[in-house]
Amino acid sequence: MVVVHVTQETYKDTLRLFQDPAHKAAAHYVVRSGDGHLAQCVKERDVAWHAGNWGFNTRSIGIEHEGWIDDPTWFTDVLYERSAQLTAAVCARYRIPVDRAHIIGHVEVPGTDHHDPGEYWDWARYMELVVEASWQHTG
């Protein structure tokens, strides 16, 4: 599955934290709000500690999005579009169904104390973009 996160930090600070072993957490990818730039922090085939639940960590790709859950201005068009393209590509590579049962928010991970991506994350829009981008990955 794919787990959608919001950093609660800037892109730059998120990358700094993910490179610090003392932080003990990192996602596979981070998407920058302003231009949709992607940073890969963990190889997809490696386990990233991003979901706060070992079982979910071992069977998911974590995608962080720059911003704060209580400020929807961070959720730009380019952030949604780039993230949706990435999610569609990940789903195609690993044959993950493109639906809300397999593309979830961090808040939906059992045992988590996180609330991201938050109430301002536009799931309907995001899933529509993922479905559209998925057509590029089908034969």
- CA 25, CA 28: separation in Å to the nearest integer? 10
Which are the catalytic amino acids?
64
> What SS3 string covers 17-52?
HHCCHHHCCCCCEEECCCCCCEEECCCCCCCCCCCC
Instruction: Confirm if 4 and 130 have CB atoms less than 8 A apart.
Output: no
Mean pLDDT of the region 6-32? 96
Structure confidence by residue, pLDDT tens digits, 104-138: 999 999 999 999 999 999 999 999 999 999 988 66
Q: How does the average pLDDT of the chain come out, rounded? A: 96
User: Would you state the pLDDT for residue 76?
Assistant: 98
Residue 13, both tokens = 């600070």
| pLDDT greater than 70 at residue 65 | yes
- Listed in sequence order, the residues at least 6 apart from 89 whose beta carbon sits closer than 8 Å to its beta carbon are 133, 137
User: Would you state the pLDDT for residue 128?
Assistant: 98
| pLDDT greater than 60 at residue 90 | yes
| pLDDT greater than 90 at residue 139 | no
Mean pLDDT of the region 56-71? 98
Residue 30, both tokens = 């981070």
Q: Which residues pair with 104 in a beta bridge?
A: 3
User: Would you state the pLDDT for residue 138?
Assistant: 65
User: Would you state the pLDDT for residue 136?
Assistant: 81
User: Would you state the pLDDT for residue 37?
Assistant: 98
Q: Tell me the whole-structure pTM to 2 decimals.
A: 0.96
Closest by Cα among 31, 41, 115 to 81 = 31
